Structure 1
Amino acid sequence: MKEFKGFMHGVNLGGWFSQCNHTDERYDNFIKEEDFATVKSWDLDHIRLPIDYELVETADGQKIEKGYERIRKAAQWCAANNLNMILDLHKTCGYSFDLGYKESGFFDDVKLQERFYKLWESLAENFKDVFAGSNNEICFELLNEVTDQSYCKKWNAIAHTCIERIRKIAPTTKILVGSYWNNSLASVKDLDAPYDENIVYNFHCYEPLVFTHQGAPWVGKNMNPDFRFPLKSKYVDYTKMTSEKVGQIGTAFSAFAADATVDVNYFETIFAEAVKVAEERNVLLYCGEYGVIEKATPEDTLEWYRLISTVFNNHGIGRAAWSFRQMDFGLSDDRLNGIRPELIKYL
């Protein structure tokens, strides 16, 4: 499988320009220049930079130049630390993966879709050459985590049109496209064939969800905040607790003995189809998010990263961990101080 050179080991800067209250105080203080040096000190090669449309657009779609300047500043800090960047549109007007933001209508409203295309044309025009004169590279990620499977056909068509319009401005910039079910591995196969050789299939992996999101109140209907679930629980317990807490049967549990526990073979199994699809279509494959909630023990967190990293490395899959600071998954947070020197080896 092709290797996504320059984007093999990364981290998300979630919560800075996205999933936040969009104030200058947040923009100025949540992530700072020295954090880019920390990312580099972890021996990483890139950042994924999620942005919401509110950073760069007013409510009626007018350009906010100060937001563009903030992205340029982030690119300067990347260049100073020899880091590449993925510019991820985490929320567009009319759509967010998080229903709490009450964005709706995007997949059925041609006006909202046109606004999306124009936003990407503007982003492409402003940032296609943002690293000119350096050895660094920027990639564009069209939209974070399409949710419903019912959007699949519409999303493929929207993505195709958006890529066509970006290509008139940035003909060779790599463009990341994810599928439905929040960029799940199981949905990679339903992405359209790559538009050209510079398309990247993007997936996210938080499996097994009942472990990585233990105690997360936004998951399922019965996930209480004090719920805890050790990584090395038996598959029979994974099946039971996933059904009870998440509301669905977890991926691939039935492929293993009921009394066995999660190991490298689990991740090889859930990755297999997406890897095969990428190889057959000769397209780059990338994991834009993966991680473990802060409620898991540091020891379990370290072991999960070790297991999934082994499979990433086995297949040459680039990735960016979620997330650098806070956001319920913070890799730089104090809770991981004791294991971080070991943990960063698996990013």
Structure 2
Amino acid sequence: MRARRRRGLALGAGLALWLLACAAAEAMPLRRGVALSRWFEASAGAPVSAAELRALRAAGFDHVRIPVDPVSLGWSPRRGPKLDDARLRAAIDAALAAGLDAIVDLHPREQTKQAIERGGEWADGYVALWKALAAEWKTLPTQRVAFELFNEPGFYGWTGGLAWSRYQQRLVAAVRGVDRERVLIVSGRKGGSLEGLVELAPLDDDKLIYSFHYYLPYVFTHQGASWMRGDEWTTAGHWRGVRYPAKAARARLPHTDGAVGRERARDEIADYFRDGWDRERIAAQWRPLREWAGKHKVRVHCGEFGAIREGVDPGSRYRWIGDVRALAEAEGWGWSVWNYADDFGLTANSNTTGAPRGALEPAALRALGLDARGQGRPDATHTRGESKPPEPKQGAR
């Protein structure tokens, strides 16, 4: 009898947590978003105008993700826990005024992340920074602004999982000591990947969203990326003309730039064909995450996904984006596509040169399940389904 009562109490507690998570989801749905990269990062680009923000809202996006490199805004452990954030606050206000919710994403550059991972003053200083920001930003509307604590943590290696789990708990505690109601976005290690997330033990906090980033297969999504050339884990930067799905690539075979070992390149593209990359393959990869989320009753968000533009077949690119978006929605997960108007962008003139960005491409809106009236439209082809990766887009910014 006691055992049944304990099981009943446990089920009741689980149901209560699930209902709280649902309530939080209703308060801040974060269903369809886009990253405004290079605005507040090291490779700063042109500011996003109020008119552009209104156009994003009219297109059907409900939130923007604003990546922020804290060093570029003046932070260092020795300087102390503060940012020169007047422009950032103005950007957040502009997004809210346009009807968009906002994810403020602390997005340290690679050398900063490595310094934090080594511990010491950088790790302690970053915790202190979040404590100070939580106090300073507490006036931001709780139901409309979420904080993403650490973009794409690395923490590879045998002890990395435990080290990252403990450090992320410190970050959450730093914010919660000041702001108990804010939605916080957390992630797994290994570059914020699906693999890193499913090994994470969820925290005892009902206002967390668990994010993962998805760019597989790199040989398609990062083909020709200059910053990927010479990467030890993939030959993606050397490939050209890779199409998606894999069966489409067979009709027009891809080629390399000739600057990579033939055998290594051949093996990776052979894997692409053998695995038959398509929507079903992606769904199968996601199965462990769906099971993990169901087991722990937590809210999941596909915080980044996208494919490079330059030299890539547009039809293939938007088929891949459409498949990932549709699968996320089929699971009930929100998403934020990478990115607005840079080298993974969605605008007609997406670039990193600072030239006029142009309007959102109709093909991009269709791939993202949006129509001309800015409304999400149901996709009849939704299906349920279900590595140490590089940090692939690091040089894209």
TM-score by length of 2: 0.73
Deviation string for 1:158-213 (max 9, x for gaps)?
11111112101110211111112211112212212223111111100111211111
Gaps of 5+ in 2: 1-17, 257-261, 351-359, 371-375, 377-397
Residue of structure 1 in register with 2:128 after alignment: 118
Please, which of 166, 178, 199 is the counterpart of residue 187 of structure 2?
A: 178
Task: Give the greater-gyration-radius structure (CA).
Answer: 2
Q: Is the 8 A contact 1:9 1:320 kept in 2?
A: yes
**Distance in 2 between the 1:246 and 1:16 partners?**
38
The number of residues matched between the two structures is 323
SS at match of 1:334: coil
Deviation string for 1:274-314 (max 9, x for gaps)?
11111111111011110010132211122112211221111
Bigger drift between 110-119 and 30-39 goes to: 30-39
SS at match of 1:182: coil
Asked if residue 244 in structure 1 is aligned to residue 264 in structure 2, the reply is: yes
Q: Is the 8 A contact 2:81 2:126 kept in 1?
A: no
**Distance in 2 between the 1:307 and 1:243 partners?**
30
Matching of residues 146-225 of structure 1 within 5 Å:
146-150=153-157, 151-219=160-228, 220-221=231-232, 222-224=235-237
Matching of residues 262-341 of structure 1 within 5 Å:
262-295=277-310, 296-326=312-342, 328-334=343-349, 337=361, 339-341=363-365
**Distance in 1 between the 2:326 and 2:187 partners?**
23
- Which residue type is aligned with residue 52 of structure 1? D
Residue of structure 2 in register with 1:81 after alignment: 98
Gaps of 5+ in 1: none
The Cα RMSD (Å) is 3.2
TM-score by length of 1: 0.82
Q: How many Å apart are 1:46 and its aligned residue? A: 0.4
Bigger drift between 152-161 and 8-17 goes to: 152-161
Matching of residues 26-45 of structure 1 within 5 Å:
26=45, 29-45=46-62
SS at match of 2:240: coil
**Distance in 2 between the 1:329 and 1:224 partners?**
14
Q: How many Å apart are 1:340 and its aligned residue? A: 3.5
SS at match of 1:308: helix
Bigger drift between 119-128 and 147-156 goes to: 147-156
Please, which of 32, 35, 43 is the counterpart of residue 20 of structure 1?
A: 43
Identity %: 21
**Distance in 2 between the 1:119 and 1:321 partners?**
27
